[in-house]
Structure 1
């Protein structure tokens, strides 16, 4: 009887095993179109053996557990390729909008065509210097040029703002996905029994979410054993999730972090402050120790000096000649401006109070004058993981390097940031090149008042000093300028150069202007001394003064004046007698004095007798010649290019097209690799209806055979029961 009962038990187990296999096969068939579903199978194992005669007798089959077909190795490789595919897909889609912007603008009349028209108008002015219609046309076409420059900058700015919105959405999605995965991990611990009950549906859900997460940023998935111990980190090693615990990301605004050398006393009460925005992070590295406050007083020999990097310390800012720039550390009264960001040092609780101690050599600060992504280990400990690309094109591997987050940040900062830098460089060179010529010229009438369009922070320090705050301070040179004064009848009172002997610290004193030695107050006083030496009453007849950080020269009692040759660049640097104002693509404008009075457009110049010859076109001719003149145009990432303004802009347009093509190639390449790996995974985990139908027939026959075994055992039992003693 025990043998027949054993047969019955074997048949029962066979029925159950076949039934389970049929059910799993049916589940596979019904989910053939379900995204992320992994094909399941029943793991069968032989039941225990009984020692018996004539030998061990088996006890049938056991349906041990339901498993899914899934290759973690293939999935890991897929995640790596998928995250890069998403990065370049995002970047390519964003760069296409910039490429279209510049391409369409050039088709309908963009910067290049309006730049040519601008110089063409100056050329026309050379033959009709006193024609007011020509002058009005020049102003009109200049406004058209400035309008397309402003529009290009504004549209790229809007693209950056839109990228910020997408970044915020991605950060929110990352935190949402991590919370969902943590919830699934909690459910897995509750329902799974290793080796017996596998929550395959939950695992599929988790893997779908992991794929979605990899589309946002580059990640590592770390599992152990049965995958209940589940950790997700960034490629750089920042833990995003550990089982049921999550670590959040936040998209936050500008901030400063410090890294001081051992023994530095600056951190006791010192703090770096800044004001302004930029598309790049500033790594500030101190190369000499010293004061960082009011003791500095404009003397670079007492100040701690620092250098600035825009790519995490890989390269350092240089001037037009390739010399590394170094800046003095000052308090709020002696701040410096780097790329439009004002930097100064104060105490922890007061930005206006100088710190007790200056920084030491090796003290570093990271200034992030923009919004970025920060990883929070806890509520008070955060780390900047904003994607960053070095000057050589390599990624900062300690930050996010993949997913749509990397794509949006790369677009916002490195690409749009550098395009805007180049557009600013174009505008800056246009301003300086035209102004340096125009400031030495004469219009159709003499001047009665001239106010500089550029300001200084501190009028007591030498103009070339970084703490002066003068934007074009690096353009100033030693030398002098010629000034002409006239009485109320138009007769020349006198012509002189400025005399800086009384304001020179050199031994012997130098009469010429020296930007390393003379401050704006020295310039003001030198002008007033010159007026007095000409017999002009100060301030009744003529006076130089400083108004809101700008130099102002004004005449009275009907007196007028004009400017001649200027070897110092002082007039253009201060914005006096200039055609343009502003410093960038956003701020470039026509000097308000010229815009309101076309007679102040300088086409000619004062001759040696202080006269303006009729038909003189020297200034207009020199400005028109800028169209074909190769200029040194400097950008912080591209160095100094020796090109015409049109060539420089055309190179910018070409670089946008090249970057777009490169992003498209990288997307196609990474997409092909990701699709190939996904196909490999699908060949293993995807449902194949032909295979499932074959399995269904196989398990159906197994079920029938097991049922037949029960029938056979029953017949055997009936035979035994029918035997009579």
Structure 2
């Protein structure tokens, strides 16, 4: 080998050692950098050359700077990371919600409910006590205040979840755009290990938000999809995710000429799939079209308690129907208050999403709802199944909203039970006039078909009024309201499927001519006694008083507006501890109705909500819900602990391959340093030989 060959070998060895030292130094410098993968230098023997009859070595060349990464393990880690984020998000969000239900000694809704009934019991022991009456209103006010406060707090928690969902979806879109940019840069630059690190780190960050599936292309690009198949990143194109408010859509059957649209009011945790099973107009008329409803995208349909499929009549706004807490009606395509021109056809389908949701845009105008749906499986319906975004949706819809709905159902039952019993009694002072607190949407239709919150509680029966001489207080008689003069004729008692609020007013006027004047204004019924006359309600088996809000203890229709009736607050004498006896008198100190209201604490009642239906006491219902909140939190925490340990194990497996071991790097550094020194010595030796050769020539 010539001296030039020795110089060449030394130079190659020197350069190779420099590359090794540089790569090792980079490993050491990035040992704690998130997403960094260990690099090593791969060398290959250079082609030998022939010198006379001998083949001489030509040193070694740097073949590649290899990046150590296990994509099989990473695929498993991404799935586990999404699952961990899903449960971690739930545990984090539920921890603050759980605090709202924590019952402290002498404080909390459970305590307030017990104190309310205890105070009612005290009044039943001395119905004439002003102090007990005042105390009852104070405890009732505390109870109603705490119910409304809990509702406000849950509403705030839901709004916070919406805000965080919006932020996380924006972050996901940014990560998707970043990956698209990386894909653009990686083409023709597939050996750029720093870019590969950045791409894998971005995918990990995205997997914390969404359940992702990554396909590695031959050109180095990543195609990223959700586990359900929606493409998030394809080459240099990033798709768009959008967080949008409540909305509806329609899909008409072939040949349908229906030109209307579905409209809705209210929010709910369930999506409604509406499928028409008979054709006709959608105005609520006798021949109107009917439809069925599914909560799982059409896999199953709502049924009654006997398992029969429920059908609903398609109506306009005045004939809207309540489905899973959402009011639904039909109008024209542009006006919710105008009727559609053409009839709906069998098979016409509408989807109502009464909540903000996540939509994946195929194009700028074609979108798909991919919000998690608790009533079906993500793999079956193309929805998100894991990641913190899915976890937030779960907390918002199946926890916070469910708790709100169940607490609202509990508050409704409390209002109804107390008001129904209270309306059977009488206070210490008689009425000169009274107006209902609740209004109907249409005073001319049967009360059972109105939008009164408690319209479904109305029953056929009778309602009686007792009249009194205003000056002397003497009873003038107790009479049941006679509906005989109301069309349809022949019905002497009230029928909620036949009689409207206007009919109730007309029947009262016909029963008490010249003594009580009943009128309906703006959907509310009012009763006014003639001069010199007062009246009292002497029993109501129909529920009209409790449903319309007359002679009641609470006002409001649910948890958001429950409070003690203003008439009771203004005059505790209006607390109906007594009843009108058989002679029409309200005996002083009578506690009959107070005892009946006290007994409500031990009465088993059915609290129906979208998520549960059980028969137990009000207090037991409340305890069950508090227990459910705790169980949900415990489930999320335990699931997070398990999935987190799995993710950590997989990450450790990945780190065994891609992580930097400083001891190993120090050893490599020493080895490359020695190689560098040896190469330098080789060059020095060649240089000395060259000097000797030159001296010989001279």
Specify which of 456, 477, 481 is matched with residue 498 of structure 1: 481
Partners of 1:389 and 1:395 within 8 A in 2: no
Greater displacement, 700-709 / 396-405? 700-709
Aligned to 1:669: 642
Partners of 2:406 and 2:611 within 8 A in 1: no
Aligned to 1:658: 631
1:292 equivalent in alignment to 2:291: no
Partners of 2:86 and 2:388 within 8 A in 1: yes
1:485 equivalent in alignment to 2:459: no
Cα deviation, 1:329-351, whole Å, max 9, x if unaligned, reads: 11233223445543221111222
Provide the TM-score with structure 2 as the length reference.
0.92
Partners of 1:441 and 1:564 within 8 A in 2: yes
The separation in 2 between residues aligned to 1:339 and 1:454, in whole angstroms, is: 22
Distance 1:603 1:384, change over 3 A: same
Aligned to 1:399: 383
Please give the residue correspondences for 1:174-253 in structure 2 after superposition, counting only pairs within 5 Å: 174-189=172-187, 192=189, 194=190, 198-227=191-220, 229-253=221-245
Cα deviation, 1:213-255, whole Å, max 9, x if unaligned, reads: 212222111111242x211122222222122211222222221
Aligned to 2:672: 699
Greater displacement, 257-266 / 488-497? 488-497
The separation in 1 between residues aligned to 2:303 and 2:378, in whole angstroms, is: 20
Partners of 2:228 and 2:378 within 8 A in 1: no
1:630 equivalent in alignment to 2:604: yes
The separation in 1 between residues aligned to 2:491 and 2:16, in whole angstroms, is: 104
Partners of 1:389 and 1:396 within 8 A in 2: no
Aligned to 1:583: 557
Aligned-residue CA RMSD in angstroms?
2.9
Please give the residue correspondences for 1:443-592 in structure 2 after superposition, counting only pairs within 5 Å: 443-465=427-449, 468-489=450-471, 490-503=473-486, 505=488, 509-531=490-512, 536-537=513-514, 541-592=515-566
Residue 615 of structure 2: SS of its match in structure 1? Answer: strand
The separation in 2 between residues aligned to 1:491 and 1:324, in whole angstroms, is: 56
1:63 Cα shift? 1.2
Stretches of structure 1 lacking an aligned partner (at least 5 in a row): none
Residue 339 of structure 2: SS of its match in structure 1? Answer: coil
Greater displacement, 280-289 / 370-379? 280-289
Provide the TM-score with structure 1 as the length reference.
0.89
The separation in 2 between residues aligned to 1:15 and 1:626, in whole angstroms, is: 93
The separation in 1 between residues aligned to 2:518 and 2:300, in whole angstroms, is: 43
The separation in 2 between residues aligned to 1:410 and 1:447, in whole angstroms, is: 51
The separation in 2 between residues aligned to 1:417 and 1:281, in whole angstroms, is: 13
Distance 1:357 1:54, change over 3 A: farther
Partners of 1:320 and 1:634 within 8 A in 2: no
The separation in 2 between residues aligned to 1:314 and 1:587, in whole angstroms, is: 37
The separation in 2 between residues aligned to 1:487 and 1:343, in whole angstroms, is: 49
Specify which of 319, 334, 358 is matched with residue 373 of structure 1: 358
Distance 1:234 1:378, change over 3 A: same
The separation in 1 between residues aligned to 2:578 and 2:307, in whole angstroms, is: 36
Aligned to 2:264: 274
Partners of 2:553 and 2:565 within 8 A in 1: yes
Partners of 1:303 and 1:329 within 8 A in 2: yes
Cα deviation, 1:595-629, whole Å, max 9, x if unaligned, reads: 22211111111122222223322111111001111
Partners of 2:270 and 2:324 within 8 A in 1: no
Residue 577 of structure 2: SS of its match in structure 1? Answer: coil
Stretches of structure 2 lacking an aligned partner (at least 5 in a row): none
Greater displacement, 626-635 / 273-282? 273-282
Greater displacement, 406-415 / 318-327? 318-327
Cα deviation, 1:21-61, whole Å, max 9, x if unaligned, reads: 22212221222222221111123234346688768765443
1:428 equivalent in alignment to 2:428: no
The separation in 2 between residues aligned to 1:324 and 1:479, in whole angstroms, is: 30
Distance 1:379 1:412, change over 3 A: same
The separation in 2 between residues aligned to 1:689 and 1:405, in whole angstroms, is: 37
Distance 1:344 1:455, change over 3 A: same
Partners of 1:602 and 1:620 within 8 A in 2: yes
The separation in 1 between residues aligned to 2:619 and 2:307, in whole angstroms, is: 23
Partners of 2:293 and 2:301 within 8 A in 1: yes
Partners of 1:499 and 1:526 within 8 A in 2: yes
Cα deviation, 1:678-701, whole Å, max 9, x if unaligned, reads: 111111111112211222333344
Count of aligned pairs between the two proteins: 696
Partners of 1:387 and 1:396 within 8 A in 2: no
Cα deviation, 1:50-101, whole Å, max 9, x if unaligned, reads: 6887687654432122121111111111111111111211211111112222
1:475 Cα shift? 1.0
Please give the residue correspondences for 1:105-116 in structure 2 after superposition, counting only pairs within 5 Å: 105-116=103-114
